[in-house]
Amino acid sequence: MEGIQQQIIEEGRSEESAEEEVRIINQLEERRKQEEIQWKQKSRVQWLKEGEKNSKLFHKAMMNHRQHNRIFSLKDSQGNRVLQQEGIEKLLVDYFKGILT
């Protein structure tokens, strides 16, 4: 990529250099996607090896999951922010009762 960009700087942009640059960018993007897939697969393998055990990995993953999915506040129909757990529960129950009726 550096070579083709240096060539563009020195000689100007030609159709060939532009096509080469696009080809290299596409290759880099494909490699980035492959690396992302590889990391996902590695983490999945680690989870399958250690996640079913009563291990630190399992507990850490569950704590992260729980923290990520926690609801800290909601806005009611008047736009007021509700922060207390009881108020959030009531808002959710009322909302779903409204949907189901």
Maximum CA extent, the chain: 70
Q: ∠47-69-66 over CA atoms, to 5°?
A: 50
In a domain, 15, yes or no: yes
In a domain, 50, yes or no: yes
pLDDT (tens digit per residue) in 28-84: 999 999 999 888 887 777 766 665 666 777 778 778 888 888 888 999 989 899 999
In a domain, 61, yes or no: no
pLDDT (tens digit per residue) in 8-18: 888 888 888 88
Alpha-carbon span 73 to 81, nearest angstrom = 6
In a domain, 21, yes or no: yes
Backbone angles phi, psi at 51, to 5 degrees: -70, -30
Alpha-carbon span 59 to 46, nearest angstrom = 14
